[in-house]
């Protein structure tokens, strides 16, 4: 593995990570997205500490992940049905 040590900042705290060099861009992008979301939430919602904002961000990203997973699952099921129909048509036409 081609490892790289980086530091990302989330909620004003540094996190030192050792990652695969190929993942650097996506990890930095993810940390930036979290920071942007925390800033947006801090301007909209009352909060006691940054943990509240982090919890809301985690809930937001988990919801997005589950929705994406459900859409992919639905699409896979729909494609499977269509492929079965096509297979049946091709099998019966020969």
- Per the structure, the count of domains in the chain is 1
19 contact partners, CB below 8 Å, separation of at least 6: 3, 4, 6, 27
Q: Mean pLDDT of successive 10-residue segments in the chain (94 residues)? A: 93 96 97 96 91 94 87 71 79 76
Q: The domain containing residue 50 runs over which residues?
A: 3-93
pLDDT of residue 75: 64
d(CA 42, CA 39): 5
pLDDT of residue 91: 83
């Amino acid at each position: 593995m081609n490892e790289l040590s980086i530091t990302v900042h989330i909620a004003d705290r540094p996190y030192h990570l050792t990652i695969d060099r190929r993942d650097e861009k996506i990890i930095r992008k993810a940390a930036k997205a979290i920071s942007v979301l925390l800033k947006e939430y801090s301007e909209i919602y009352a909060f006691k500490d940054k943990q509240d904002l982090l919890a809301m961000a985690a809930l937001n990203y988990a919801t997005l992940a589950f929705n994406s997973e459900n859409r992919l699952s639905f699409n896979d099921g729909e494609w499977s049905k269509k492929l079965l129909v096509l297979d049946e048509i091709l099998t019966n036409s020969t």
